[in-house]
Amino acid sequence: MDIQYNEAELAFRDEVRAFVAEKLPKEISDKVKSSEHVSPEDMITWQRALYEKGWLAINWPEKHGGPGWSPIQKHIFEEETAEAGAPRILPFGLNMVAPVIIKFGTQEQKDYYLPRILKSEDWWAQGYSEPGAGSDLASLKCRAERDGDHYIVNGQKTWTTLGQHANMIFVLVRTDTTVKKQEGISFLLVDMENTPGVTVRPLITLDGAHEVNEVFFDNVKVPVENLVGEENKGWTCAKYLLTFERTGIAGVGISKAALEHLKQIARNEQAEGKPLIEHPRVAERLVELELELMAVEMTNLRVVSAAEAGGVPGAESSFLKVMGTEVRQKISDLYRELAGPYALPFPDLDVGEDAFGPEFSASASSTYFNLRKLSIFGGSNEIQKNIISKAILGL
């Protein structure tokens, strides 16, 4: 048993660090570290740098442009980039639709879409949830009817993250209403830009942000060659996507960076004549979060190490999702508390830096409220517990 990185792993970590130091612009990492708004351009800048290095599609097979890394290497990469304040990689193209295309798509689909995803030429959105289909995703109603060489899509998708920037969307649609709900679903790729009938409307969340959208399909004509896998087998694609490479799901690197940010704030901000960090309750909260985060970090490493030894992380990723999101939310809770009275001014998203109070406080309440989403999306934490109950505990 050896929990330390070996020499090759340390060398790899140094290589990642050197690359990040050279290629990640400071103005971007500063924004990420202080939870400020990161623009689509910032995300694309970072993705292009990774693409040029061949490090963008870390979960893809080598023949399609993946770097051929082991689970430990992927973990090191994710941790190091997150701790350094790299923006998150948009998952919708790279880690959601691409694995499905690689597994179930035609040669033409692979040849066309995969290089475009690698080069960030398409911005993908996810069309899964509907107003009536959240945790019970298979009850989705968005309809696709075959009409010659096309499907005619009618219906609505919702919670479409960053859909306002997207030109492509993968959607789960109902192609058979007469069978069991899981058996009448298909997986379609829709060009949002060039297909009439697609409307994106913003949904403003409680933090004032425009991050999610609803997408309406009104007699949208989608060519049949945009079907991935077989008709009515879309649920297989959807499930595959949910189990694909989820060891990064704990988000330990992001939480570490966020906790480090809080420590800095606590050192720099004064209250009643002394730094916040010297207030006993603040110190206690900080170490309690550190303790929780250490537990997630080591649990994550245990799963990564098992994957390295050939194990396939299945429902273990549900543990990691619950543990990782809980600690990240608790960190954001302390962030809001550290802001004190200056958690109150509602941020003017257009003004940004001219916030009231100390600079760090501008994003505190936004971050806290925004991150309530973590335990809701990607399979709510209650759904994760149902999965663990069934798959691991046999209940």
Partner 1 sequence: MDFSYSDEQRMLKDMVDRVVADQYSFEQREKIIKSDTGYSPEVWSQFAELGLLAVPFSEAAGGFNGGGAELMVVAEGFGRGLVVEPYLSTVVLAGTFLDAALGDDAKADALEPIISGEQKYALACYEPNGRYDPFWIETTAKKDGDSYVLSGKKAVVLGGDSADRLLVIARSSGDNPGKNGLSAFLVDGNADGVSRDGYTTFDGHRAAEIVLDNVKVGADALVGEEGGAAAPLQYALDRGIIALCAEAAGAMEVACDLTLDYIKERKQFGVPIGSFQALQHRMVDMRISLEKVRSLALWAACSLDAPDAERRQRLAAAKAMVSKAGRHVAEEAIQLFGGMGMMDESSISHYAKRIVLIDHYLGDGNYHTDRLIDLLVEENAAA
Burial class (CB in 10 A: 0-12, 13-18, 19+), 270: exposed
| 11 near partner 1, rule: CB under 8 A | no
Least CB distance to partner 1 at residue 267 (A): 6
* Catalytic residue, candidates 36, 245, 308, 337: 245
Nearer to partner 1, 5 or 377 (CB): 5
Least CB distance to partner 1 at residue 361 (A): 21
**By rule CB under 8 A, what string of x and - marks binding of each residue 39-78 to partner 1?**
---------------------------------x------
Distance CA 24, CA 45 (A): 9
Tell me the sheet residues that pair with 170. Answer: 126, 189
Query: Radius of gyration over alpha carbons of the chain, in Å?
Result: 22
Residues 299-328 that bind partner 1 (CB under 8 A): 299, 301-302, 305-306, 308-309, 319, 322-323
Least CB distance to partner 1 at residue 262 (A): 11
Q: How many amino acids of this chain bind partner 1 (CB under 8 A)?
A: 45
| 236 near partner 1, rule: CB under 8 A | no
Task: Assess whether 245 carries a catalytic annotation.
Answer: yes
For CA atoms 366, 385, 91, 152, the dihedral sign is: negative
Contacts of 371 (CB under 8 A, 6+ apart): 328, 329, 332
Per the CB < 8 A criterion, the answer to whether 333 and 367 are in contact is no
Nearer to partner 1, 148 or 280 (CB): 280
| 14 near partner 1, rule: CB under 8 A | no
| Contact region with partner 1 (CB under 8 A), list: 3-11, 119-127, 179-187, 332-340 | 3-11
Q: Which structure tokens are listed for 143?
A: 């309809």
Region class of 74: left (phi > 0), else alpha (psi between -120 and 50), else beta = alpha
Distance CA 104, CA 355 (A): 49
| Contact region with partner 1 (CB under 8 A), list: 35-43, 223-231, 295-303, 354-362 | 295-303
Per the CB < 8 A criterion, the answer to whether 155 and 142 are in contact is yes
Q: Which structure tokens are listed for 367?
A: 């971050």
Active site residues: 245
Binding site for partner 1 (CB under 8 A): 1-6, 9, 72, 263, 267, 275, 277-278, 280, 283-284, 286-288, 290-292, 294-295, 297-299, 301-302, 305-306, 308-309, 319, 322-323, 382, 385-386, 388-389, 392-395
